[in-house]
Amino acid sequence: MSESDSTRPVPGPDDGPDRSSSPDAGDVSAPSGAELDDPALLPPLAAPPSSEPPAPPAPYAKEPRRSGFKKGFGAGLGAALGVGVVLCALSLLSALSLVVMLVIIRPGEANTSASTTATTTIWGDAGASHTLRAIEVSGAIETTGGSTSSLYTSATYGYDVADVIDDLEADDADGLLLLMDTPGGTIPGARAIAQAAERYRDRTGHPVIAYVTGMAASGGMYAMAGADHIYADQGTMIGSIGVIMGPFAHYSGVTQIDNGILSGGVSADSIEQFYLTQGTGKDFGNAFREMTDEERAVYTSDIAREYDVFVQWVADERGIGTETIRNELGAYLYDAQTAVDKHLADAVMGRDEAFRQAATDSGVDPGDTRIIADTTPGALSRLFGADSSRVFGHGAPMTSGTATSELCTSATTVFAWSANPVQACGG
């Protein structure tokens, strides 16, 4: 650098060159006339302004950046869902396994073997040396389960219970205990229980004891009459040795049948119903005609025959004269003490006393005896479909709807019904 350069004044901000007039400003000079005449040399014309506003520029598609929290939450949620799916699958497999086991040993279904019927101790020490096998006969006695519904109470299926009794061997128990609480039922069902109990005594040499916990009426009396001993709790009812057939209905002079909330459903001067039949008396029970004298005689004869068998069975097993049963006892129900006085039962006892006496009757020590009965499914079993109201040979109560029981088919039954059977059977 020369001395002259070092002493050159530094231009200030207002001392710069005038770029608007200087050729060094880089401005393009105006075109000449020749250039204006050449279209190729003319600058491009600007496009006319548009009436529509220009479209906004497309936003830049930038992937949002996830925070560390969101990343961690998503990963944790995915892991949790994965673990949940695995646990659900394992739970489902466990449930299916349990259902399979319940189907195999589920009481009240297809099982007919005593060895597959689950039992529990209902009295005494579970580790006792001696055992009495209790069979509960409760509700209406039906013939067999699976095809019909009971009335508005639980039901006992006589043939199914007989299968359990027939599978008992001498080593299985020291005696058989029938726990009775039934208004009666079908003749075949009641006879099946009675005959199975008789076979058990003959096969094993062990006694059969009946204990009435509520009612033993009609078919209940039929089922337990052959027991070696009959005990009854205080307040129970026993008897009703009789046969009934029905129910039947006859509509006469019908002008209106109430079948609605607001008014009657049917109004007419006459109502007729008939069947096309072959065979005299084939439409027996038609509610729209009276029963003929011939029909009454035929069916009265039928139930009289069943009544004779019933009376003779009770007379032979309880040591009561047939005429006494027919003329004195009749088909009445008696309290426990009166039943003892009339030889329908042997003693009035409370539960604990009766169970101790049953052990003594069986020749074993009551202090070293337990009583076992069919197991009712627990909460877990009910969760997977087992009916808590059913044990083997027993049907669930019917809480609504119309009954389709064998007791509602006009078949001959030994039955004591305290309510209106026509209403119960949907009539």
Q: Where are the beta strands (DSSP E) in 286-387?
A: 333-335, 347-348, 369-374
Residues in the chain: 427
Rg (the chain; Cα; Å): 47
pLDDT value at residue 248: 77
pLDDT value at residue 260: 57
Q: For 335-356, how does the pLDDT look when each residue is reduced to its tens digit (9 = 90+)?
A: 999 999 999 999 999 999 999 9
- Stretch 40-55: mean pLDDT: 56
For 30-34, 103-107, 141-145, 394-398, which range has the lowest pLDDT when averaged over its residues? 103-107
pLDDT value at residue 275: 79
- Report whether pLDDT(262) > 60: no
Q: For 174-227, how does the pLDDT look when each residue is reduced to its tens digit (9 = 90+)?
A: 999 999 999 999 999 999 999 999 999 999 999 999 999 999 999 999 999 999
What secondary structure does DSSP assign to 42-83, as a single string?
SPPPPPPPPSSPPPPPPPP-PPPPPPHHHHHHHHHHHHHHHH
For 248-262, 280-294, 381-395, which range has the lowest pLDDT when averaged over its residues? 381-395
- Stretch 288-315: mean pLDDT: 93
The pLDDT confidence band at residue 380, using thresholds 50, 70 and 90, is very low
pLDDT value at residue 289: 84
Q: Where are the domains of the chain?
A: 105-244+321-424
Q: Which fold has domain 105-244+321-424?
A: 2-enoyl-CoA Hydratase; Chain A, domain 1 (3.90.226)
pLDDT value at residue 425: 53
**CB atoms closer than 10 angstroms to residue 258:** 9
